[in-house]
Amino acid sequence: MSADRPPRDPSNLPLDGRRDDEDRTMAGGVDRRTLFRLGALAGAGASMAGAGMLSGSPARAQEAARGAGDLGEQATPEEIAAAVAAAPSQFNEATIAELQQLMSKGHLNATTLTEYYLQRIHALDARGPKVNSVLEVNPDAIAIAQALDKERKSKGPRGPLHGIPVLLKDNIDTADKLHTTAGSFALLGPAPTQDATVAARLRAAGAVILGKAGLSEWANFRSTHSSSGWSGRGGQVHNPYFLDRNPCGSSSGSGSATSANFTSFALATETDGSIVCPASINGVVGIKTTLGLTSRAGVVPISHNQDVVGPHARTVADAATVLGALVGVDPRDPATAASAGHFFTDYTQFLDPNALKGARLGVARATFSGFNDKTDASFEAALEILESAGAVLVDPADLPSAAALFSGVDETTVLFYDFPFDIAKYLATRVGLSVHNLADLIAFNNAHADIELQYFGQEIFLICENSGITAAQAAQSLINAHTFARDQGIDAVLKNFNVEAIVTPTNAPAWTTDLVDGDHFQVADSTPAAVAGYPHITVPGGTAFGLPIGLSFTGTAWSEPRLIALAYAFEQAAQARREPKLLPTMPASERFSTRATPATSPAMSRRLANWLDSLPAGSPIPRRLGFI
């Protein structure tokens, strides 16, 4: 892509599968509402690129992909219930600390634990309910676990992750027998020659690389109407609470597999929403890190200006344990130089059940409240828990730049400009692939449209390839975006309201998966932290009709220690996580509840009513413009 090339009329582009009358406005006048519907834009790299097909045969690739994750091939409810009952469950919900305690006493070892998760994956992910969250398992996982068990006996454990299995999102390089494809057959070929830095650090910490988790292909940075969790290679990842519900994305498999107890924890990536949204919707903890705290080297990129890597775990303590193994300056990623003096190799030291006592928290409502009653009810209940735990709530404490920030123009301009350059740079590190740049990826998808484009097109790829955005325009948009997200956004709220963190609802409950029209988002709070490059932690905050809803804590750069403390204190007070039952669909008893509930919507909370009353007469309820 030439930065100085004038933009082509997008109406002349073959928008694979798009309707003739669909909006085709390009960057230059980028409309987030119509263009940037990137299912969950996430993925610190959550995009991949091109290699040969399965054994060089598109036909074989299509056969391998056919029906993957297809709800039409799900077992009957009775068969699913039988599979769940028969699957091993004795270590479900066990924390990393509990597993280590069992290992230290000789009641458990890494080999047994690895076999346990592999058995659950075989019984419940690949068969039975077919959650379809794991793209492939590591054929060497048992051997790695056995070697770590021998090492434990001879030398003792390396640390808290010794012998603990982990799934990596399939956009994180591993130089082993696993593939790294970002869900695309374009990258199915020779393995990367070097581990991603975060993968190498987990190996060094003694973790067992169990396999690769499914994801939204190219981190949902391919089409304007994609389905989160779908990839050509893996099919549709499902939500473990109700299998017909969406797991969000793009770190869909990471969140779903962690919640379903197919792994102890998983690594996820985010550009804007793909750590926190799947965590919230799948009922787990997600830590979206300060940009530069974790290395992106060896992670398929979208934009070096927003991509990050972080953990999915069932508890804040587990997520904090994992984070300590990931951090550190990395010569392969210059952005990590800024983390010097800001990172800790042990974030569990900040776990404080009393951290909410006296904590001043800002309640951001504009763009997040007043449009989904289930989300509002969960959020209000979470606020009551925060207050009961001693927090001082400043309500409202809205971002002054919300309208400009959520318009998305500057953010999309930066991402559309960065992606062609960043993906080409990544592809140069891969050997033996048939693709080397974005144009090659577009051509590959066109050549294998029956596999890759069977449900949605590649409009975002085409926009990025033909945007005509100049380096100067991208640089100015980056300045604007940082101003709106930092100086006039998160930092303005923290300073103006004298608060140490901002709390918001992470997402609305999971929608029903729709491969025809794509995702159905209603609310997402990821953009301010994503654009600013600031930390954002989501923790299970409540449920609506059996579907999880997360509560978010957002702060300024390098504030992970304090956010972890606050999130942990809330988690201990709320105890909101519920283990998923892998049900095919929401039971009628949940959809049409007979509980004592008023026929009309329940009365608004005092806080929410006061905030709505404060809005200027006739003004629309502020809300997020577009998708995460």
Catalytic residues: 169, 250, 274
Question: What are the backbone angles phi and psi of residue 270, rounded to the nearest 5°?
Answer: -150, 140
Helix (H) or strand (E) holding 77: helix 77-86
**Whole-angstrom Cα distance, residue 39 to residue 41?**
6
CA distances from 201 to 250, 281, 311, 596 (A): 23, 28, 13, 52
Strand pairing category for 547-554 and 208-213: unpaired
| Torsion angle in degrees (nearest 10) through CA of 33, 38, 44, 49 | -130
CA distances from 383 to 97, 548, 553, 604 (A): 29, 16, 12, 14
Q: Is there a contact between 507 and 252 (Cβ–Cβ < 8 Å)? A: no
Sign of CA pseudo-dihedral 62, 64, 68, 72:
positive
Residue 105 burial by CB count (10 A; 0-12/13-18/19+): exposed, middle or buried?
A: exposed
Helix, coil or strand: residue 568: helix
Residue type, 243: L
Of 212, 240, 217, 221, the residue nearest 229 (C-alpha): 217
Strand order across the 265-270 sheet: 134-137, 208-213, 165-169, 265-270, 308-313, 285-288, 536-544, 547-554, 501-505, 360-363, 392-394
Helix (H) or strand (E) holding 440: helix 438-447
**Whole-angstrom Cα distance, residue 523 to residue 14?**
31
| Torsion angle in degrees (nearest 10) through CA of 616, 619, 621, 625 | -130
